[in-house]
Structure 1
Amino acid sequence: MAGSTDGEDLRLLVVGLDAGCRPILEPLFESGDLPTLERLFETGTAGPLESQIPPWTASAWPSLYTGKNPGKHGVYDFLSFDGYDWDVVNASHVRARPIWELLDEYGFSSVVVNVPVTHPARAFDGALIPGLTAPEDPDCHPEGILEDVKMACGGDYWLYPQRSPEPDRSIEGYERTVELRGKAFRYLSRRFDPDFGFLQFQQTDSVFHERPGDKRAIEAVYREVDRQVRETIERTDPENVLVVSDHGMGKVTGTEFRVNEFLRDEGYVSAQSGGEGMPTWSKAWENDLLEGDEAGEREPSALERTMNLAANVGITTQRVANALDRVGLKEPIGRRVPNDMIRAASEQVDFPESRAYVRSKSELGVRINLEGREPSGRVPESAYETVRDELVETLSGVRTPDGEPMFDAVEPRETYFEGPHIDLAPDVVTVPAGFDNAISADLGMGRFGEPMEPWNHKRTGVVAAAGAAFDESAPLDGATIFDIAPTICSLFDVPIDAAMDGDPLPVVDGGAEETYPAYEPAPITATDDSAVEDRLSDLGYL
């Protein structure tokens, strides 16, 4: 493909498009904005890639890169919980073997750039620069490599786009962030000469959360992704390319259901105010709000009135600016406002005093406050199945204000998960109808309302395979994210972990299975980084 390459024998390049899906890609193919990706889809073979439940980044990418469901790898959400305390998940919470570590056992080297939930990095033959949920300037593998990457990228490398109040500059920040991914990967490929490469682009998802429906921003992000994929293919000359996504993306035009408000009415949830109940992911830090003076320079009474208005429209997280716009407060009122004031102006779930509750909307489920499991459990173990059956029945019957079912399914967790870490899952899993409805953990409003996120995740992503090792005539129907890791194993003629939940895609010959020794993950370490939580809150995940 190119006269000069950055490496030799890159057998497989995996390109990760977070939230990539046909409804987003097809118009960009038709307009000619994505010639490289379109060529991969059209000259190879492509199809839908079904995500898991929940189809959210922090859980879905570990499922894809381990080939195992959350019950086996242990990550269900952006958050992990210890009793009623919480932290943002990181690689130490993933209790299953990533594909690049498995390849390392058979002598294959890898370069992994920007894959979510990969910090802190473990040692293997190759290099890793982590992605989402890592702090800015994260520890990488090998130690010290990030400084070399920054030099190779012109002095900069950042995980999260630089903030800017100007929309045009914000788009430039998106483009530069995408460009840095490609440059970092090409530098590391030249330096480490890997057999396997995994380059992920997060901006294809986050642009929809930060600028929903902004056609210009979306097109700019995808055009830059296409340029980086083209240059990466030209410079690394991979024998095979596999394009994958963790889920899809689309408009949310249905109803938002405030599950905790419903559970309070049903006698399961107790509430309190004053900032001591359910976390709003912002207890100890502040949030960028609107341009203007520092909050401390304003009169407290004005600030308090603003916070009360925000609370009246249901704002209990850091996504305050959108709500202020909705209640007509568009003038500058202070650029940084302590979120404890927002907490104090709203109600929260009182975990210890409740019988069941939604801990985090991204879990897509209800947790029972069980004796012997939670620090102040209210439901005896002997009543667990009865209470869970009641919750399933009650939630299954919920109808939207239009009379339509709120959920496609309400099931015990065993319906969707199995494995040694199923105890970390919510007890009852709730699947919004078509993912056109949404759930919320908020209190203090009616049961139903307009979704806070006008665009959000859908269940179906994409997969495309092009290259000599792939049977490009094979249809890709019925593929799931659990099939990607077994497919990679088969391409490298590495035994498939018998504990993986997927099968090789029909584009490769299925390989032999093997029972691997138990994975020995590193001890769980805290993320405890306010910038990470701010970022996830800005994206609407927290």
Structure 2
Amino acid sequence: MFEAADANDQVSLVINYPVTHPGSQLDNGAVVPGYLAPEDVEFSPPEIRKKYEAEYGQYEIYPAYGTDDNPVKEYTNVARHRRDMARFLDERYDWDLLAVQFQVTDSIFHDLDDRDQIRQVLENVDNFVGDIIDLKKDDADVFIASDHGMGDYEWTFYVNSWLAENDYCETTTGEEQYFRQAKDELKGKNGSNESSSIVSAVGTAASALSAVGLSPRRIHQGLGAVGLDKTVERLLPEDALVAAQNQVVDHENSVAYQLLFNSLGIHLNVEGREPNGQVSPEEYDDVREELINELSQVRDPDGNLVFDEVLPREEVYEGSHLEDAPDILLVPRDYQYDVSGSIVDTFRRYPHKNHKPKGILISNRDLDIDSETGASIYDVAPTVAAALGLPVDTETDGEVLGPFEADERVDWDEIAGEYREVSDSESGPTDDVEDRLADLGYME
């Protein structure tokens, strides 16, 4: 979006958006990278960071996740930098597009349990959003959108464990890369903390027990049989439990597996597509249909179905990159189930909060959204583009909402081409971003 605006000689200010590093070198604006960038990343233009920090203090991309000191202060401070950066750039640019992303409104639900603390952070962010809106020109269009909602989850379903129990997946001993560990690395931490000795001890014990045939999964199941599994989970820190889960998928010898940690997709290991495929192209349809039918009937320990739908990818995706999609897509019942790739017991009752499919879209314009069908997240980009008078991307799945009209449609890849070439040559290869996505569990 901001590259298309820049190509149209409009001024864009982009603050904290994910995957904006390596960043585009705009002719008419500024980019402050967000999620997946290292904490000490260079801004664009480069001098912005030094000037900002001389006035407002050190800019922080990431909070200290799970901090025990003062989490409300920590998360609020990170969010404050978004507001302060908007003010800082507003004083220096006559902008057409000001886009600000608040990552903490997501992370607090994953990292905090105290509802009052969560509410305090959200109220502070709400005030910051109001301050940013006050920067707008009198006739400016305002859009506030979330990419998903948040709500209560009751269970974690360990799909690779289920696949292993049902002879689709083989496992081996190894070390998994976990989300929190990768986020600490982006923050610049060296991994040393008070619980590291416990983590090391549990990991060593897990390896020793595995050597004599007692896997962490079998131990967890045995503890559950005598009612001690939840006690152990409560007393040991999360990182220690992660260390004990030292079984991972043996991809080469498996028929199917969840490839990306905590995704809602199952990949089949297909001959000619994967390096060590186990499923022939002739068997593919039958194996996939069998697996879809079995997953559709999975029930939790209370007897409730886990999935509302289990779908072949063709019913969800289309286009030239269909082959890159998971072979099977999972839709949890009422989104009350996390689907995890850890190899432990098949189910864990784990009340917590996580992503829900329905988010928010607020505007100072009448977007004429049907109360029954609602809008789609795909509608946001074309609507904002139309509001700016930009051509809408020909590759978008969304529609222009409300009073706005799109006079032209253009492939944004063509518009963005020159910016990406500059980004790759001056800011480093996109392999850096792909490596960070893999570290965080989004890619393999």
Output the TM-score relative to the length of structure 2.
0.81
1:83-94 matched pairs, under 5 angstroms: none
Go from structure 1 to structure 2 and tell me whether the alpha carbon gap of 1:487 and 1:329 turns closer, same or farther (over 3 Å shift). closer
- Aligned to 2:123, what secondary structure does the other structure show? helix
Structure 1: any 5+ residue segments left out of the alignment?
1-98, 315-321
1:229-378 matched pairs, under 5 angstroms: 229-237=129-137, 239-253=140-154, 255-275=155-175, 279-280=177-178, 291=194, 295=197, 304-305=204-205, 312-313=219-220, 326-329=233-236, 342=243, 346-378=246-278
Q: Contact 1:189–1:236 at 8 Å: present in 2 too?
A: no
C-alpha distance in 1 between matches for 2:352 and 2:49: 36
The aligned counterpart of 2:430 is 524
C-alpha distance in 2 between matches for 1:487 and 1:127: 22
Q: Contact 2:434–2:443 at 8 Å: present in 1 too?
A: no
Q: Work out whether 1:456 is the aligned partner of 2:354.
A: yes
2:78 to 152, 164, 177: 177
Q: Contact 2:248–2:343 at 8 Å: present in 1 too?
A: yes
Deviation at 1:302, TM superposition (A): 7.5
- Aligned to 1:240, what secondary structure does the other structure show? coil
Quick check: which one's helix share is greater?
A: 2
The aligned counterpart of 1:481 is 377
2:103 to 202, 217, 223: 202
The aligned counterpart of 1:425 is 325
Q: Contact 2:263–2:340 at 8 Å: present in 1 too?
A: no
C-alpha distance in 1 between matches for 2:216 and 2:32: 38
Q: Work out whether 1:128 is the aligned partner of 2:31.
A: yes
C-alpha distance in 1 between matches for 2:216 and 2:170: 22
Q: Contact 1:495–1:511 at 8 Å: present in 2 too?
A: yes
Q: Work out whether 1:104 is the aligned partner of 2:104.
A: no
C-alpha distance in 2 between matches for 1:242 and 1:160: 24
- Aligned to 1:387, what secondary structure does the other structure show? helix
The aligned counterpart of 2:224 is none
- Aligned to 1:204, what secondary structure does the other structure show? helix
Q: Which amino acid aligns with 2:3?
A: E
Q: Work out whether 1:399 is the aligned partner of 2:299.
A: yes
The aligned counterpart of 1:137 is 40
The aligned counterpart of 1:227 is 127
The aligned counterpart of 1:146 is 49
Listed one character per residue, the Cα deviations across residues 249-271 of structure 1 (whole Å, up to 9, x for unaligned) are 01112x32221122112221011
Deviation at 1:165, TM superposition (A): 5.0
More deviation, 411-420/517-526: 517-526
Go from structure 1 to structure 2 and tell me whether the alpha carbon gap of 1:143 and 1:383 turns closer, same or farther (over 3 Å shift). farther
Q: Contact 1:120–1:139 at 8 Å: present in 2 too?
A: no
Listed one character per residue, the Cα deviations across residues 115-135 of structure 1 (whole Å, up to 9, x for unaligned) are 122221112231111221221
C-alpha distance in 2 between matches for 1:300 and 1:410: 39
- Aligned to 2:355, what secondary structure does the other structure show? strand
C-alpha distance in 2 between matches for 1:397 and 1:185: 50
Q: Contact 1:257–1:448 at 8 Å: present in 2 too?
A: yes
The aligned counterpart of 1:16 is none
1:62-73 matched pairs, under 5 angstroms: none
C-alpha distance in 1 between matches for 2:306 and 2:156: 9
Q: Which amino acid aligns with 1:208?
A: F
Deviation at 1:486, TM superposition (A): 1.0
C-alpha distance in 1 between matches for 2:366 and 2:71: 41
C-alpha distance in 2 between matches for 1:130 and 1:526: 14
1:463-478 matched pairs, under 5 angstroms: 463-466=361-364, 470-471=365-366, 478=374
Deviation at 1:313, TM superposition (A): 4.6
Go from structure 1 to structure 2 and tell me whether the alpha carbon gap of 1:110 and 1:430 turns closer, same or farther (over 3 Å shift). same
The aligned counterpart of 1:42 is none
Q: Contact 1:250–1:455 at 8 Å: present in 2 too?
A: yes
1:5-16 matched pairs, under 5 angstroms: none
Q: Contact 1:487–1:503 at 8 Å: present in 2 too?
A: yes
C-alpha distance in 2 between matches for 1:257 and 1:178: 33
2:63 to 161, 166, 183: 161
Deviation at 1:337, TM superposition (A): 7.6
The aligned counterpart of 1:504 is 400
Q: Contact 1:405–1:433 at 8 Å: present in 2 too?
A: yes
Go from structure 1 to structure 2 and tell me whether the alpha carbon gap of 1:302 and 1:401 turns closer, same or farther (over 3 Å shift). closer
Identity of aligned residues (%): 31
Q: Contact 2:367–2:401 at 8 Å: present in 1 too?
A: no
More deviation, 424-433/356-365: 356-365
2:341 to 431, 435, 441: 441
Q: Which amino acid aligns with 2:398?
A: G
Listed one character per residue, the Cα deviations across residues 56-113 of structure 1 (whole Å, up to 9, x for unaligned) are xxxxxxxxxxxxxxxxxxxxxxxxxxxxxxxxxxxxxxxxxxx111222222111011
Count of residues paired in the alignment: 411
The aligned counterpart of 1:118 is 20
Deviation at 1:325, TM superposition (A): 6.5
Q: Which amino acid aligns with 2:322?
A: I
1:41-56 matched pairs, under 5 angstroms: none
More deviation, 513-522/397-406: 513-522
Q: Which amino acid aligns with 2:93?
A: F
Q: Contact 2:369–2:375 at 8 Å: present in 1 too?
A: no
Structure 2: any 5+ residue segments left out of the alignment?
210-214, 222-228
Go from structure 1 to structure 2 and tell me whether the alpha carbon gap of 1:111 and 1:371 turns closer, same or farther (over 3 Å shift). same
Go from structure 1 to structure 2 and tell me whether the alpha carbon gap of 1:237 and 1:227 turns closer, same or farther (over 3 Å shift). farther
C-alpha distance in 1 between matches for 2:203 and 2:50: 42
